[in-house]
Structure 1
């Protein structure tokens, strides 16, 4: 059974466009620090830190402190609750696409 709290946390974290952009930036880098995230985001360092806090609480990012810097990286397992939830709809969509394929073949012989 999928844990609703985990799915809710992930969806809530990714619902905000700025937070989603921060996550995408982290996911595209091996590791990145707050300074670099702030430069690329167009929002304040404080705002980036708040977004990082939400992403971390949702299990979407992991941090590695090194001296005064903290480096962030995507935590692939954090998306698992969302992936599991979406996989329940796999059969539904496969059937619908199968029906569409059949219909298109009938229309265009």
Structure 2
């Protein structure tokens, strides 16, 4: 796989909605897209869609609300690609709390 002239783009929440659309568009523009989300089946659907239009993707099922998953995600991307050019942090995190009451870290 020749990535010398390709951007490496990572999209969280890539399995559905805006994340899916963003991942597909980045792939159409020639980017190698790392698909990240909690549901592997949804990521596989997006990966197949990208492949149909001759794009390239790599999927990593992960929950970005889990620090351990985020650390593994970072390690996998850097080990496989050596860099990350674009991060589209699209994953939605919502709960029953009012936003002001949510602990971020």
TM-score range, shorter chain: under 0.3
TM-score scaled by structure 2? 0.26
More strand by share: 2
More helix by share: 1
